[in-house]
Amino acid sequence: MSTEIKLICENMTYTIDRKFIVLSNYMKKKSTDKNSIEINSVQLDIFKYIIEYLEYRKGEGSKVVQRTIDDSKLSELIDGPDYQFINNKPYKTIQKIAIASDTDSLDIPSLVNLSCVAMGNILKNHSYEEIQKIIN
């Protein structure tokens, strides 16, 4: 079996190292004895971020944040590569990444955690009205 696998989303094909997909429980299940996986549950613009995450993490999940966000800066809560990946993405994009990474879709627990920490960090210290503007 090849050391690479093709991930197909909206007629676009991405070839990545097979060992990188171990972060996705969904992809691990689907890749048994296959050289390609069709991904239908995620929009292409968000899937590109999923591929980016899988490639830079190289099969190693993000460190799970075990503390409250309180007044910490995002860069204090997550490590450098994760910070570079998630920082400066709009709230809506991070939200879509979290949804695509959830157990009902690609099932990438480390990316769900990272996305949720980033969303919480964006929303902290804002009034109800400000939060409504951010999430709508």
SS (H, E, C) 28-90: HHHCCCCCEEECCCCCHHHHHHHHHHHHHHCCCCCCCCCCCCCCCCHHHHCCHHHHHHHCCCC
On whether residue 11 sits in a domain, the answer given is no
Only one residue has tokens 């450098």, namely 80
Calpha distance 67→65 (Å, rounded) = 6
- Asked, for residue 55, whether it belongs to a domain, the answer is yes
State the Cα–Cα distance between residues 133 and 125, nearest whole angstrom. Answer: 14
Task: Look at residue 73 in the predicted model and tell me its pLDDT.
Answer: 76
> If you compute the radius of gyration of the chain from its CA atoms, what whole number of angstroms results?
16
Please give the chain's pLDDT, 136 residues, in tens.
679 999 999 999 999 999 999 999 999 998 888 899 999 889 999 999 999 999 999 988 877 776 666 666 777 778 788 988 998 899 999 999 999 999 778 999 999 989 988 998 888 888 889 989 888 8
| pTM of the complete model | 0.87
pLDDT reported for residue 69: 64
Does residue 1 form part of some domain? Answer: no
Give the residue numbers spanning the domain of 128. Answer: 42-135
Q: Is residue 112 part of a domain?
A: yes
Residue 93 lies in a domain: yes
Which CATH number belongs to the domain containing residue 63 in this structure?
3.30.710.10
pLDDT value at position 62?
A: 76
Assess if residue 33 is contained within a domain.
Answer: no
SS3 125: coil
Q: Is residue 106 part of a domain?
A: yes
How many structural domains is the chain composed of?
1
The pLDDT of residue 129:
92
